[in-house]
Chains A and B, each alone.
Chain A
């Protein structure tokens, strides 16, 4: 897999300014991004997943352009087919364990139906 990205984003909160400028091109099976808290690891991952739109740069995976500021390409996260685990999991509190697991399998406008819980209640059909 060829991962190729260059991201530049400037975030401002009041008088504090954070500038993200990160570039990587790798064919490795795994890439680990390490750094102190606040150095922009999460911002980088969010930009790759399409959860934030950087001001400039590009993201390409195996030649497919997910984001390119120069040509104005920005695929929404839904179209990127990437998996992303949030730092604090972001499990859906209104759904059972089973519904959380099946969440992405259910296309359309409704959540997967909660099955009739067995007597005693299986662990899968409990709320979170």
Chain B
């Protein structure tokens, strides 16, 4: 009798506990990273300008006719800003230090969140960077249902809804990942791209194509520039203490 009970109870525990943690992704949410030595910072700066050589492709028009509340926010035909070129300069390029920092260097996540807004049925900003452990605050400025689906490969994904204007939701990411795609399924054209970084040395090129990465310690770095359709380019840069270096990239068919 006692033997049967023991066997049965062990079986129950095995079966009962077997179902947990089936998620295949490596870096789950929840645990804070172990407090390692804080990575080095400095006073060096890398600046640059991203240009687009050649004819800029026309961005596809978005048919928002079945989402009038969003369509009303536009004076003219809204387009999907996949390639944003102004005067030969490319915006929305994610530039970051790919290597050159000491292995395992960690940087504290800022308390202030990174804000992602949904306005006019588009994500603003379209490309953004965030630190591991930093809060991504997602806001809905549209009076329509949006869902925010994150499809990372390393981090744990999520798929949450915001049915009304004014709603905010927060998420954090535990592992560095370039880039985590975000999408809305109610509006299939909505995309955003999130670079999750273990260090704060990244930037997104502005409307005029310029970017600045500051606070770097002296050293040699590999800098990568990522664009959602134009691909990836890298460059090596060396900076001295208090110094500054330039890293210009060129994308496009004639680059």
Do the two shown chains form a genuine complex with each other? no
By a beta-carbon cutoff of 8 Å, the part of chain B in contact with chain A is none
Interface residues of A (CB under 8 A from B): none
